[in-house]
Structures are given as structure tokens and as C-alpha cells.
Amino acid sequence: MSETQKPVKPRIDTMEHLSAAIGVSRPTLSRYFQDPERVSRTSRERIEQGLERVEYVPNFFATRMNRASTGMIGVIIPYLNDLFFSRLLEAIELAAMEAGYSVITKCSHSDPAIEARAAETFMSMNVDGALVAPLGNHSDLTVHERLRSRLPFVMVDSQPEVMTEVDFIGTDHMQSTGLATEYLARVGGPPIFLAMPRVNFNAMARERAYVSKMEELGLEPEVIGTELINDHWHFEAHGLAVLDAEFSKGRFTDRSILCVNDRVAIGALKAAAAHGLEPGAMRKGGLRIAGHDDYPLCPFLTPTLTTVAQNVDAIGEAAVTCLIENIRGEKSSPEQTVKLFEGVMKMRNSA
């Protein structure tokens, strides 16, 4: 063996074999892996010295089986191919790690049956609590009710109106969508609202907020895109299809268009480009396109997309804090907690 090579440590796969190898009892090892402070200083030093001599990784689940707390939080998100949920999950994981919890994430892939199985999995794993971003009207709400009856549970990002007893952390859509509506009405005339099929809770909330703000401003609301065009056309494809059809008829080419979210707005920008239109306050024609969410790609589109930024970091941190308060029984009131964060306007080239 060369001087640069390190000796290969013997691999040990079970706690029983580890116990025999380093000369401490199996219960002592178990206590050590749960919390090193639970064993004596002498035993702790002996275990640590023994672990230096062998290759051993404790089984995460086995070390938690007999604990009152597993130290795990389950998270269900609806999409993996959406950078908004990537950002939200990052915020949740960082906040959970800071509080001493591990996060296990499941994706429902826009399928209520998968969402239901994810909830059942968390219940079978005895996670300490769950954060769920539900799909929308096609979610199986009976599964969410069962989850709520079994463990601490907080809704994040979107909320079924019927679940008034579950704590919710998200964005104030009345404020954020109203902000964008008012801005577009001020700089470019009465905006149209490019919606989505009415199955997504946030989409419906934003549509209502748009209508409310338009009526408050004394303007006539105009909503398009509420019908499903194709079962497989979501977000970008939906925005593209709706505006491609409208632009082909010569409609809305000189209007301000507020899209329900940035992904729909990306499709809208593509439709504009396909028809030779250039959205933006400094361009000819009067077409303006704006979105909602401040998707990470917005500053890199052509033109850069005007939108409303959600406070994703604050939402993720607040959701974890709320859930941990429920887990530890520290919540001050049995009433539903609802915490909403305001959006911030991001003015860019598209509007």
C-alpha cells in the first residue's frame, strides 16, 4: 500500500455487529445515535473512537422507530417541473433544517390518486407533521381531512375554501393581483385577464381579485382562457393556444393582458412573437403582457416579463414555523391560522 493510500475500513451493516465490534451494548448505541448526550462521556468517547475504525452509517428510520418524534416533516407539492415549487421547497427545507427537522418530499404530479397515496405514505411513516400544496378542485379532500385527523397539517401556497380549520400560509392574492391590475390600468388602459380552467385554487382567487379590482376602478372586467383547450395543455401551452387564437382573429393586439401566472405569460409572449407583436411599454402597438409569481426565468425572457413577486422565502419559513408550533403544541389559539404575504410589483420591459 502506497503512502497516499488510506487503509480500507471494515464495513459494518447492522447495529448488532457494530455493538460487538466496538464493545458497547446495543441499547447504548441506539441512545447515542438518537442523542449523543444521552450516554455517559466514557461511552460516548468509546463509540466515537470505534466509529473512526469502521465504515458504518446508521439507519435513519431504525434510529427513530422508538422515539416520540421522528424528526421528519412530509411535504407534498403538485409539480416537479415548476421552478416556483423548487424555490418554495428550498425555503421549506432550509427552515426545517434550522429547526432540526428532516424533510421528505412527495410530488402529486397533478394526479389526485398520487396525491392521496403521498398522504397515506406520510401517515404510515409517522412523520411529525405535513405541509401540503394541494392540486385544486380535483384533489381528494377526504384524504386531506384524514391527514388532518392523524397528524399536524398545514396548507401552503393554495387552499381549498372548504378546509376552514386547517392552518394556511400563502400569498394575499387580492392585494397582489389587484396591484398588477391597477398598474396595467394606469399605464396602458383596461387590462384583460388571461385565466386558466377553473380547477386551480390560486388561479380562481386571482381571477376574483382581478374582477374585484376592475369593478373598484369602474372598469369592465374581461376574462378569457377559462375553458380547457386540451387535456395536456397546461400553463405555457394554454397561454400560447388562447392568445394564438385571439391574435389570429386580430383581437387584443393593442391591449394590456394580465396573465394568471408567469408560466401562462411565457406562452402569451410566444404567441405574440409568432404574430410579429412586440409587447412592452416602449414598443409600438400598445400590447402589454404581465404575469404573477416572479418566476426565476422572468428577467431572462425577451422581453423581460413584468410581474408580481411572491415572497416565497417568507412563505416557506412561516409554513414550517406554523407546522412546528402545531407539532409541539405551542399554538396560542385553536382557531385557524391564516398568514398571507403581500406581493411586490416587478416592472420590466413587457409592460
Share of the chain above pLDDT 90, in %: 61
Q: Which of 25-39, 178-192, 219-233 has the lowest mean pLDDT?
A: 25-39
pLDDT at 5 over 60: no
Spatial distance between the Cα atoms of 282 and 341, rounded to a whole number of angstroms: 31
Strands 192-194 and 256-259: parallel
**Rounded mean pLDDT of the chain?**
89
Q: Which of 88-92, 131-135, 284-288 has the lowest mean pLDDT?
A: 284-288
Cα four-point dihedral sign 139, 145, 151, 154: positive
What is the arithmetic mean of pLDDT over 83-93?
96
Spatial distance between the Cα atoms of 281 and 56, rounded to a whole number of angstroms: 62
pLDDT in the model for residue 1: 46
Spatial distance between the Cα atoms of 72 and 58, rounded to a whole number of angstroms: 16
pLDDT at 61 over 50: yes
What is the arithmetic mean of pLDDT over 69-74?
88
Check whether the bond before 190 is cis (ω within 30° of 0). no
Q: Which residues of 116-150 are buried (b: 16+ CB within 10 A; e: fewer)?
A: bebbeebbeeebbbbbbbbbbeebeeebbeebbee
Domains and CATH numbers, the chain: 15-64 (no CATH), 72-172+313-342 (3.40.50.2300), 173-309 (3.40.50.2300)
Spatial distance between the Cα atoms of 12 and 18, rounded to a whole number of angstroms: 6
Other CB atoms within 10 Å distance of the CB of residue 175: 15
Q: Which of 4-18, 146-160, 198-212, 245-259 has the lowest mean pLDDT?
A: 4-18
Residue with cell 387535456: 231
What is the arithmetic mean of pLDDT over 171-199?
95
Q: Which of 35-44, 75-84, 197-206 has the lowest mean pLDDT?
A: 35-44
Name the residue with higher pLDDT: 59 or 122: 122
pLDDT, tens digit, for every residue of 128-142? 999 999 887 777 788
Q: How confident is the model at residue 335 (pLDDT cuts 50, 70, 90)?
A: confident
pLDDT at 282 over 70: no
Name the residue with higher pLDDT: 38 or 125: 125
pLDDT at 277 over 80: yes
pLDDT in the model for residue 7: 66
Query: How many secondary structure helices (H) and strands (E) does the chain include?
Result: 11, 12
Which one-letter amino acid corresponds to residue 48?
E
**Cross-strand partners of 259:** 194
**Cross-strand partners of 145:** none
Spatial distance between the Cα atoms of 153 and 327, rounded to a whole number of angstroms: 9
Share of the chain above pLDDT 70, in %: 93
